[in-house]
Amino acid sequence: MTLKNLLVHLDDSPACAGRLAVAIDLAQAYEAHLTGLHVAVDPVLPGGVRGEIPVRFLAALEEQTEERAQAVMARFTEAVEKNGLTADSRTARGSVVQVAEIVSLHARYTDLVVLGQPDPDLARDANGHLAENVIMSSGRPALVVPYIGAGKRLGRRVLVAWDAGREAARAVNDALPFLRRAEKVAVLVLSPHKGDHGPEPGADIALHLARHGVRAEAQHLSAGELSVANALLSRLVDLDIDLLVMGAYGHSRLREWVLGGVTREIFKQMTVPVLMSH
């Protein structure tokens, strides 16, 4: 598998520039086609009052929505032309609760979708969970870029979070294009349970990767008093990692919503881009 068709979600947030830069770097590295998708969100109006709002005011809202969409797409067009990429742009329209559904639909016709971590200072309504909703429903791997941006070394030093689950297996397979190009790949098993991973935790998946030409070092350690997510984030710093690969929502998402979980904590605290699959 290689990456030949990429999708990046575009919006008018400050973080979009960093997300687009990552998508452009990937398109250049893999000689891939890049599609930029912007979903113009319908103005949110209190229920039952639309009929009482002056037509001029509604028209002004529509005009503002259109102007924002044009500005977003103009920045995308300028960036891809500057970098000489093969690309196309798309603008869709929908309500705020339809954005994830629209992005997921377009993502199904690509190899990878590039999304943004929600900014806690800007996330509102359903869009605060856009990335996780797309990961759950698109059927495609997603590269989630922190809202603070990403470094220039994306994919050189990769950490695979391995728990021998279905989602982790899917993520490893989806990440093979990155793993083959990486300078260092570490497979980390945190607090392994006896019998789940064989006599040497992580060795079996490292052997599988070796057969794909990926030299991976298997590691395992106890999370101790830290949560799994915090132990994982700490290891990213220790190993100078610039890309994390992990499965998303190994437990039911309802359970993670209620009790918390690794996926949700990573979404909140990620410091490097994360390739996630479900």
Could you report the per-residue pLDDT of 259-273, keeping only the tens digit for each? 347 888 898 899 999
Q: Which residue has the tokens 């990213």?
A: 236
Rounded Cα–Cα distance for residues 59 and 244 (Å):
45
Q: Where in the chain is the domain with CATH 3.40.50.620?
A: 5-145, 157-277
* pLDDT of residue 201 exceeding 90: no
Q: How far apart are CA 274 and CA 27, in angstroms?
A: 17
CATH architecture label of 5-145: 3-Layer(aba) Sandwich (3.40)
Answer whether residue 255 shows pLDDT above 50.
no
CA-based nearest residue to 21, from 180, 143, 157, 121:
143
SS3 268: helix
User: 130-138 and 262-269 helices cross at what angle (nearest 10)?
Assistant: 130
Output the CA angle 23-131-13, nearest 5 degrees. Answer: 65
* Strand-pair partners of 275: 143, 245
Rounded Cα–Cα distance for residues 129 and 5 (Å): 24
Average pLDDT value for residue range 51-73: 81
Tell me what the mean pLDDT of segment 155-168 comes to: 93
Q: Return the pLDDT at 64.
A: 86
Q: Comparing C-alpha atoms, which of 194, 188, 32 is closest to residue 113? A: 32
The mean pLDDT of 193-215, rounded to a whole number, is 81
Query: 206-222 burial, b for 16+ CB within 10 Å, e for fewer?
Result: beebeeeebebebbbee
| Cα–Cα nearest to 112, from 83, 82, 145 | 145
Is residue 50 very low, low, confident or very high in pLDDT (cuts 50, 70, 90)? low
CA distance linking residue 162 with residue 190, whole number of Å: 8
Task: Pick the more confident residue, 220 or 19.
Answer: 19
Cα–Cα distance for residue pair 243/159, rounded to 1 Å: 6
Rounded Cα distance, 105 and 90, in Å: 13
Note if the pTM is more than 0.95. no
Fold of 157-277: Rossmann fold (3.40.50)
